[in-house]
Structure formats: C-alpha cells, structure tokens
Amino acid sequence: MSDLTLESTVKLHTGGSMPRLGFGSGGLKEQVGIDAVEHALKSGYLMVDTAQQYQNEQEVKTGIAKSGVPREQVYICTKWQPPPEGSNIRMTPEQVRDEARQSVLRLDQSGSGKEYLDLMLIHHPRPDAEGRKSFWAGLALAQKEGWVKDIGVSNFNVKHLEALPAPLPAVNQIELHPWCQQREIVDYCRRKGIALQAFCPLVRIRKDKFEDPVVVKIAKKHDRGVAHVLLRWNLQKGFVPIPKASSPSRIDANKALYDFQLDDEDMKELDALDQGAAGRISGIDPATLPE
C-alpha cells in the first residue's frame, strides 16, 4: 500500500474505476456545503459523495461548478432514497428510474443534455425483498440507459445482497472503522468483487474513540493525528473512505495520508479493536434491517 496516492483508484468488477478516497457531504447544506465541496475539489479530492436524503445535491452541484474542475474529472456518487419505513409505498422500476433521474439533473452541471452520474446507490434495504428487487431493477434501467455508469447499494447485509437479482452491485457503502469492521459483509463483498465504501470512517470524532489508547499510541508513533491513522487503516484494508469535513483545514488534513504507512503490528492492534455491533456510530445495523 506504500504506492497509494490521492489519485489512486479501485477497479470495479464492471470494468470501471473509482477513486480510493472520497469527500463526504452528509449534513453540509447551503453555503457551507457549497464552500466545502468547492474547496475539496480544488485541493485534489476526486470524488464527492452525497444522497437524496441529505437534501444537498444542489449545493454539491454548485460547489463542483465553482471549483472549476471539469465534470469528467469529478466522480459523483449519490444515493437513491427508498420510501419511508412503514409507508407501504410500492414503486415500479420505471418510477424508481424517473425519480433517480432527478438526482442527475440536480448534480450534473454540464447542461450538455448528456448528464450522467458515476455511481448511484440504494441508500437503505427497506422495506423488504420485493421492494428491493423493484428498486434495484429501477437503477438497472438507469444504468442500461447510460446516464448512471455504475450502481450499488448501502447498508446491505449478506442476505440482502444474496437476494438481489442481476446485475451484481459494484459497491456496498457501509460503516467501517476499527471498532466496527463488519467482517461477514466485508468477506462476502470481497469474494464477489463488490467494492466497499466506508462511511463514518472518522467515527464522527467521538471523544472516546479519538482518545482510545491504542489509536493514540499509533498516531504518536507516526507523528500523525488520530484521523490520519483511522483513514489510513481504511485505505490499507482496501476500503474507500469518504470522510466529511466543513473547514478547509480539516478537509486538507483528511487527505494527508500518503507519506506514511501503518505497519503489520499497527494493523493488528487496530483490527483487535473491533466491537462488532456495539462499535457502531451510525446506529444502522445491517444485520437487523428487514429481510
């Protein structure tokens, strides 16, 4: 992993590729969101992650436009939002496709008539297997029509993934950090060639995690911050972390990951921090989501 750079990509089983580090935009709205995305791209990030649920796709679009970085050099990932839990709303694949199309128009600023997204995910596995199949068929339609290059899922467990019809998801975005390693899902995705994006890679800066003696010791050993250690662990595990930040200094710091490497002992100690479901920060446990 010593040859990793900010420009490194991961090869997807579809033949496409995705940057190894992304910029997360969850919770970044209005001018704060615009400025954060603009700065992230100007400073070298190659991927921006958003979602319909975040209600900031327009801000992401504006930030991309203000950055001056050409559209073809920005990898845009968003997440399609299933109907609310308990709503009993059923959608046909065509309805899902049409709703997904709105995200493309909110995010691609080219105005060329050939707008596209690089990756679209189903944000949650609700409500049930029947619903997921219809939602997945809708994203597959979008991909077939060419305005979404790759499709994937988020918060899906092994049973959810096994029940999906073709095509195989390119990506599964789940919570991943040393205290929540989701090894069963990770092992399954690796066997199938499904790339893993990591949300909450910085554990939302939780004080008890950032002051964990093991992580603090490793950070001091490398003369780096705790955030650097957590993100570098993600990279060396083969995951694609998508850290969120709003201040320019933190955005810049979160990409300063390529001039040091965690050794085998560091990785072993960090791996030993796994707490399973108890280590979750997001409160989302794929194992307990509807089958």
Q: What is the mean pLDDT of residues 46-60?
A: 97
pLDDT value for 256: 97
pLDDT value for 209: 95
pLDDT value for 286: 67
Is 54 among the residues known to form the active site? yes
pLDDT value for 2: 59
Q: What is the mean pLDDT of residues 82-88?
A: 81
pLDDT of 83 > 80? The answer is yes
pLDDT of 146 > 90? The answer is yes
Percent of the residues in the chain that have a pLDDT greater than 90, as a whole number: 88
- Catalytic one among 45, 54, 75, 116? 54
User: Domains in the chain, please, with CATH?
Assistant: 9-279 (3.20.20.100)
Percent of the residues in the chain that have a pLDDT greater than 70, as a whole number: 95
pLDDT value for 1: 46
Distance CA 96, CA 99 (A): 5
pLDDT value for 89: 81
**Nearest alpha carbon to residue 196 among 253, 225, 154:** 154
Distance CA 45, CA 37 (A): 9
Distance CA 64, CA 56 (A): 12
Q: What is the pTM of this model?
A: 0.94
Largest CA distance in the chain: 54
Amino acid at site 153: V
pLDDT one-digit tens code per residue, 152-180: 999 999 999 999 999 999 999 999 999 99
Assign 3-class secondary structure to the chain.
CCCCCCCCEEECCCCCEEECCCEECCCCCHHHHHHHHHHHHHCCCCEEECCHHHCCHHHHHHHHHHHCCCHHHCEEEEEECCCCCCCCCCCCHHHHHHHHHHHHHHHCCCCCCCCCEEEEEECCCCCCHHHHHHHHHHHHHHHHHCCEEEEEEECCCHHHHHHCCCCCCCEEEEECECCECCHHHHHHHHHHCCEEEEECCCHHHCHHHHCCHHHHHHHHHHCCCHHHHHHHHHHHCCCEECCECCCHHHHHHCCCCCCCCCCHHHHHHHHCCCCHHHHCCCCCCHHHCCC
pLDDT of 231 > 60? The answer is yes
